Amino acid sequence: MIKRYLLFDLDGTLTNPKEGITKSLQYALHHVGIEVEDLDSLEKHIGPPLIDGLRDIQGLKEEEIKEATRWYREYFKEKGIFLNVKYEGIDDLLDTLVKAGRTLILATSKPEEFAREILVHFNLDHYFTDICGAAMDDTRRKKGDIIAYALKKNGINDKEQVVMIGDRLHDIKGARENGISSIGVLYGFGSKEELTEAGAGSLAKDLEELKDILLKE
């Protein structure tokens, strides 16, 4: 069956956000007493909800996690948000999919207002019929919850017509939780092993392969 509804992750799937996210994390951790010199060591936090990533940092207490989240968002809103690079070829992919009659919806763990700003900044917003992200109060932050929100908000009931495209295990597991198929992309921040173990329906090594898969779906 043709997949009419394509749910796209943002970070690591449409854009490379490494510099903005890692510098925002470095800034936030500095304010709770943790100094990080090697930004590459923070790369693993690209993809998961922010709070979950902070909980993985040994020794941080819940109050420090809340404080770090505030500092992160302060830096990200002012500086980190546009320290971001659009993947070469992403416009061609999205344009082709829209012209092929697919409905594109963003489903990201990034706060919705930040996600909207990023898409507008990179002139990608016009490809998407809706932008669905995390709530700033963290009541909606897990990828599975965001996918459920996107489906409900857009009145999508036939899950056979939906596929989630993302680069991390959270995208794949979120899709499984909602009974939809998934495609893992290998040009982002998740490894082949991570995406395969999470249960990705298929894998795309680059944007051309992703296009081929989606147009055959």
Instruction: Place domain 18-82 in its CATH homologous superfamily.
Output: Putative phosphatase; domain 2 (1.10.150.240)
Residue 9 DSSP code: -
Band the pLDDT of 217: cuts 50, 70, 90: low
CB 71 within 8 Å of CB 31: yes
The whole-angstrom separation of Cα 99 and Cα 40 is 38
pLDDT tens for 151-193 read 999 999 999 999 999 999 999 999 999 999 999 999 999 999 9
Q: How far apart are the first and last CA of the chain?
A: 6
Across-strand partners of 182? 164
Single-letter amino acid, residue 96: T
User: Do residues 39 and 83 touch, judged by C-beta distance below 8 A?
Assistant: no
pLDDT, residue 56, reads 82
Judged on CB neighbours under 10 Å (0-12, 13-18, 19+), 70 is exposed
Residues 207, 152: Cα–Cα separation, whole Å? 28
Catalytic residues, by residue number, are 9
CA 45/CA 199 separation, integer angstroms: 20
Backbone angles phi, psi at 115, to 5 degrees: -60, -40
Q: What is the value of pTM for the model shown? A: 0.92
**Which pair of structure tokens corresponds to residue 191?**
């490894």
User: Quick one: pLDDT at residue 59?
Assistant: 77
Beta bridge partner(s), residue 111: 134
5-16+84-216 and 18-82 have identical folds: no
**What is the spatial distance between Cα 181 and Cα 65, in angstroms, rounded to a whole number?**
33
pLDDT at 26: 95
**Architecture (CATH level 2) of domain 5-16+84-216:** 3-Layer(aba) Sandwich (3.40)
Domain boundaries, the chain: 5-16+84-216, 18-82
pLDDT in tens, 106-136: 999 999 999 999 999 999 999 999 999 999 8
DSSP state of 123: T
